[in-house]
Chain A
């Protein structure tokens, strides 16, 4: 039956390496063929728990169905169920249909222990004892059951707390006096303690809550009870405790010992076992969060408690107020009667409540909570008012309009101030809970970001074009050659190139620039262009403007600006024929004259690292390198010899070749990539225009320092500033020192004079010494003193230059701090003050 029992649970487990697997042979496997198999399976799937499969009635039913399945005839078997068809006659007697639903399902969340009063519950033994004890007593001398319980409870409480392991040695039990001493100390864990505390806080005697039980006869205070009955009841309690072998008289719930790591699962009496849960991963952050949370909660509860206490206080006060009100009412009634009797008329002002009183109070309270500023304002106003009164008392009658107005204003101000203060009292302002009704939401068109950006862009564009138009107007009649800044105007060549060893500073050097000469002035003679080409200005209607970026035709208006230009190609239909002959020569001469001679690279430089890490810079003149020219010629010769097969189908390349190699008319089609000549040419042009070296770039200081150019600028500026500041400081410091020296010198003189006057004073000798000491300390010493002053050492300068403090000053201590004073910006005035005081005090002492 091994297999059915394992499969019968319908629980497939993963095969684990730790679990031994059952090895089964063929003979072990039950025959699952045919009917046998069905039977087995039926046996397996009972649908009830394993323990209940053995149930007798179930077995019987299963066997019966099994037998029925096989065709055997069996009696009906069923699992017996209780008969529910009959009515119980007495049911109505015990189960009343009237059920009152409670108002709240949750009445309160206090524990039973909190609300059931004393937690000791006397039993028969106690009852016997108490009856016997009370039998010979009268009236107040009798101990009530509640009081007895209180006493017993407290004794238990004290011993449970002080001797938790009393059961180990019951003979150690505390004596009555010891218990009494401890029991009278209020215990915070005791529920009555909280009551007492609240009672004292609110000034209520016998503080009770609605949840507290209300005994008919209030038990006397515990202190009294202990005096009255404690000594008598103690032996009874002790006896009971000892019979329990030191355990509490009433059995208590047994809890798990939290200090024990191993859980005691075998003890059936443990209640409220710890739940097993997976510990969350502990991180410091999580811990901190937890602590923070708890702290927050604690604060919250404290605040809530305070609020509730305030509410309770309010209610207590309200009670008092109502009492007072009632007293007033009664007295008024009495007075009214009296008045009627005596026939007194008038004097009614005390008999009615003045209506405005309450509002007045509010205003008064508001006034008191008014913010300081507002109060000051009002005070100023009041002062003014009184001044006015002094000035013209006649016009400022109590009922004059202005006074009333002012009063009203003041009132309003006070109120507003009250409002303001109300808001300022509560540090986190209440977020206004504004909820506009849909009708009041203004119907505005939404502006998208896109439109805003577009507007901005349009504005900028317009501004720029306006500027350009304006400038164009100013330049009327002039041609701006700088429109094309890429054409060099002058060809500058260094004359004394051999003299210039260091070339890095060239761009900045005026000396170097003086050695340059303008080789070939490139001032272009534009007369040909002006006279022969058609001029177009910005707004010519013939121009079709095309956006260079997008290729779209744009509107030809003044905002899509375009510089004026000349049609150099001269392809305009009108006068192309006119030029005819003339054109050729004039044009030629123009271009001949103004051929742009692009400056070539004069040297070819190469940097390499040679033997022993030496750096070499090879310099080679390109233009007159004969070898190179020879090399180029050689290749050209080669080219002639090596005629390569032509690429026929590449038309575009052909045309390129035609342009590039106009000389070699014989070979028309040469693949440009195969042509040596073209390689050569390319190499040549490369030498002409490209350079293996990076373009000469004077190193920017910011790049040297590896910082942002802006930062560099700021730093440079700062450096200049600090240099200037340092210079000024040195001067200032010198001035200060000179001043100090002068002061000290004067002081010395004064002292000497004093000494001379009083002779060598025996009593004030030490004082003199000290003052001299500090004075002799030169500028440094005194500077040190003020350094203490400035650094805020309270001890020495709290009395600001008291003599004892000055005595502590080292005479010639290294004036580190002293040096730093002027930098901190201590003015000479503050420096001199302690010195002055010293001298003053010295004088005072001597006198």
Chain B
């Protein structure tokens, strides 16, 4: 940027049409380049969003799978419990937004979710994420809103 700025100031001194035409070409090239890089950035953005969505769904599945035996977030306490006594039912693990360490560790995804909820109908994205809406101000840590802090 500084280089460009310098470039700009240096050329300012000369007020010639010839220089202007070369400048114009340079400007067009720059503009083209900008368009390309914006496209690239948008692509990356899209990919990122996709990955985030995938993470969210996979995480949901993972957490739902682990309701009976546990997962790496809640621990595997139920894992050893079940074989000892078949009569006593093991308590199912309920998971909350606090456990979504994979998907909600991305701040962009969180803002995106919130935007989605703001834009969409009040039904909410998911019961678990719908609660995010209730938070008034965006905060960096996303503890479960159901828990009273």
CB-based contact A338/B8 at 8 Å: yes
CB-based contact A307/B57 at 8 Å: no
Contact of A338 among B23, B45, B46, B106 (CB under 8 A): B23
Contact of A310 among B55, B123, B126, B146 (CB under 8 A): B55
Chain B residues contacting A310 (CB-CB under 8 Å) are 51, 54-55, 58, 102
User: Interface readout for A287-327 with B: 1 if CB under 8 Å, 0 if not?
Assistant: 00110010011001101101110110110011011001101
Chain B residues contacting A301 (CB-CB under 8 Å) are 72
Chain B residues contacting A328 (CB-CB under 8 Å) are 34, 37-38, 41
With A321-B48, A327-B37: A297-B125 Cβ-Cβ less than 8 Å? no
Contact of A350 among B5, B31, B47, B53 (CB under 8 A): B31
Give complex CA distance A635, B11 in Å. Answer: 154
CB-based contact B8/A341 at 8 Å: yes
CB-based contact A335/B54 at 8 Å: no
CB-based contact B83/A293 at 8 Å: yes
CB-based contact A430/B52 at 8 Å: no
Contact of A331 among B33, B51, B70, B96 (CB under 8 A): B33
Chain A residues contacting B8 (CB-CB under 8 Å) are 337-338, 340-341
Is B88's beta carbon under 8 Å from chain A?
no
Q: How many residues of A contact B (CB 8 A)?
A: 65
CB-based contact A289/B41 at 8 Å: no
Q: How far is the CB of B66 from chain A (nearest CB, A)?
A: 7
Contact of B4 among A325, A334, A422, A435 (CB under 8 A): A334
CB-based contact A422/B83 at 8 Å: no
Contact of B119 among A304, A324, A359, A416 (CB under 8 A): A359
With A337-B5, A362-B112: A300-B66 Cβ-Cβ less than 8 Å? yes
Chain B residues contacting A412 (CB-CB under 8 Å) are 120-121
Interface size class for chain B? Answer: 35 or more
User: Interface readout for A574-595 with B: 1 if CB under 8 Å, 0 if not?
Assistant: 0000000000000000000000
Give complex CA distance A426, B59 in Å. Answer: 9
Q: Which of B24, B33, B44, B46 has the most CB of A within 10 A?
A: B44
Give complex CA distance A308, B73 in Å. Answer: 12
With A304-B62, A357-B42, A433-B94: A333-B102 Cβ-Cβ less than 8 Å? no
With A422-B126, A427-B61: A300-B119 Cβ-Cβ less than 8 Å? no
Chain A residues contacting B46 (CB-CB under 8 Å) are 361, 364-365
Q: How far is the CB of B1 from chain A (nearest CB, A)?
A: 5
Is A330's beta carbon under 8 Å from chain B?
yes
Is B12's beta carbon under 8 Å from chain A?
yes
User: Interface readout for B87-109 with A: 1 if CB under 8 Å, 0 if not?
Assistant: 00000001010000010011010
Give complex CA distance A330, B30 in Å. Answer: 11
Q: How far is the CB of A337 from chain B (nearest CB, A)?
A: 4
Chain B residues contacting A430 (CB-CB under 8 Å) are 60, 64, 126-128
Q: How far is the CB of B92 from chain A (nearest CB, A)?
A: 9
CB-based contact A362/B30 at 8 Å: no
**8 Å CB contacts to B: which residues of A326-383?**
327-328, 330-335, 337-342, 344, 347, 350, 357-359, 361-362, 364-365, 369
CB-based contact A350/B106 at 8 Å: no
Give complex CA distance A333, B30 in Å. Answer: 11
Give complex CA distance A300, B40 in Å. Answer: 36
CB-based contact B128/A324 at 8 Å: no
Q: How far is the CB of B149 from chain A (nearest CB, A)?
A: 16
CB-based contact A341/B23 at 8 Å: yes
Give complex CA distance A104, B33 in Å. Answer: 48
22 contacts between A and B (CB under 8 A): A304-B62, A307-B58, A308-B102, A311-B105, A317-B44, A320-B44, A321-B44, A324-B41, A331-B33, A333-B4, A340-B8, A341-B11, A357-B42, A359-B116, A361-B46, A365-B53, A415-B116, A422-B57, A428-B61, A433-B128, A433-B146, A434-B127
Seed contacts A335-B31, A358-B112, A412-B120; 14 additional CB < 8 Å A-B pairs: A307-B55, A313-B51, A314-B51, A321-B41, A328-B34, A328-B38, A330-B4, A337-B4, A337-B7, A340-B8, A415-B119, A419-B120, A419-B125, A432-B127
